[in-house]
Structure 1
């Protein structure tokens, strides 16, 4: 099953697009939350979780940098926002043991800051539910994200792991579609990228041309609804 998640903390966008688009969840991180200005972080996340409802996932990132502190912070997040929240933890020397410890407690983990196949494999072996591959950042580091996605997906499929690759960090539509094509089951993108993919001039031109041709047949201002009356 393939999924689309939104990478935003903007309540206005989420109120509109969680309904309009086929969205499976919402991801956030401190950088995204910072864009919303001087907010109470937990209050903002609680509002986002309410918008998500019971059918969409919410992914919240820790900021601690030791294993013990990461585990403690994860439990605080769950206590404040609910046990079904996905805790985002970087796959680092400190983060990996925390992922395993929390996953062993049946806590939902989204492993983040993945730039290599080895990180993805270790996160899957440690029990992470999502493997967040940083697509654009990998390209900026002269690493092929599509190859990494394919390799992690091959490991997941071969090992029987239930982890899903959640491709993230995109700058354009082409990167999103390439991530899916390379084997990512999920992607998380900003609202602006989806809007740019749906708002291309060529799409508007095609729609306008179809409308003109229809009016040429049935008259100005006519639609399929009006001609059936």
Structure 2
């Protein structure tokens, strides 16, 4: 179940978590919201990165703070599989993917546009062009 971080969302998270339902608390924009979500029993916490960048703030810095705060505590639930996981949300760039991984986020929700950008690198593109040119020379000689 996906719930927003707010008073009603936290209350619902606690009730659902107590009933064994895994909850993803979303719209997390601060470490305090993440801590409250974890304390309410959230299985997943989704801090947003790109929306910070949209308002000229550093989304990766905010993600770093959330990851640090959550990892400072043992949020293991009734089962070891119920440990709180951080889902990096609002990913927009390959750098968001890289930084989320480096900071220790567990999961990232990455749109296809950003995934395709992750595949490209100027040196890879140059190498592929070189391979293709070499292959065309082989074909022309055959």
With the shorter chain as reference, the TM-score category is 0.7 to 0.9
Q: 2:105 aligns with which of 173, 184, 198?
A: 184
> Which of 122, 130, 134 is residue 44 of structure 2 equivalent to?
130
How far is 1:149 from its partner? Answer: 2.2
Aligned to 2:90: 169
What's the counterpart of residue 77 of structure 1? none
**Aligned partner of residue 47 in structure 2, secondary structure:** strand
Does the 8 Å contact 1:149/1:165 carry over to 2? Answer: no
Counterpart of 2:80 in structure 1 is: none
CA offset digits 1:178-229 (Å, max 9, x no partner): 222223121001111111221455423212324545x59xx715xxxxxxxx
Q: Which 4+ residue blocks in structure 1 deviate beyond 6 angstroms? A: none
- TM-score (ref. length: structure 2): 0.79
Task: Give the drift of 1:142.
Answer: 4.4
Name the SS for the 1:89 alignment partner: strand
CA contact under 8 A between 2:34 and 2:66: conserved in structure 1?
yes
2:33 matches 1:115? no
- Which of 96, 103, 113 is 2:10 aligned to? 96
Runs of 5+ unmatched residues, structure 1: 1-86, 222-229
C-alpha distance in 2 between matches for 1:125 and 1:104: 12
Question: TM-score, length-normalised on structure 1?
Answer: 0.52
Q: Count the aligned residue pairs.
A: 132
What is the SS of the residue equivalent to 1:94? Answer: helix
**Aligned CA distance change for structure 1 residues 142 and 151 (closer, same or farther; 3 Å):** same
Deviation string, structure 1 residues 137-168 (Cα, Å, up to 9, x no partner): 12234443223322222232221122111111
Superposed counterparts of 1:19-34, under 5 Å: none
5+ residue gaps, structure 2, are 76-82
Partner of 2:78: none
Aligned to 1:11: none
- The 1:186/1:142 distance shift into structure 2, 3 A limit, reads same
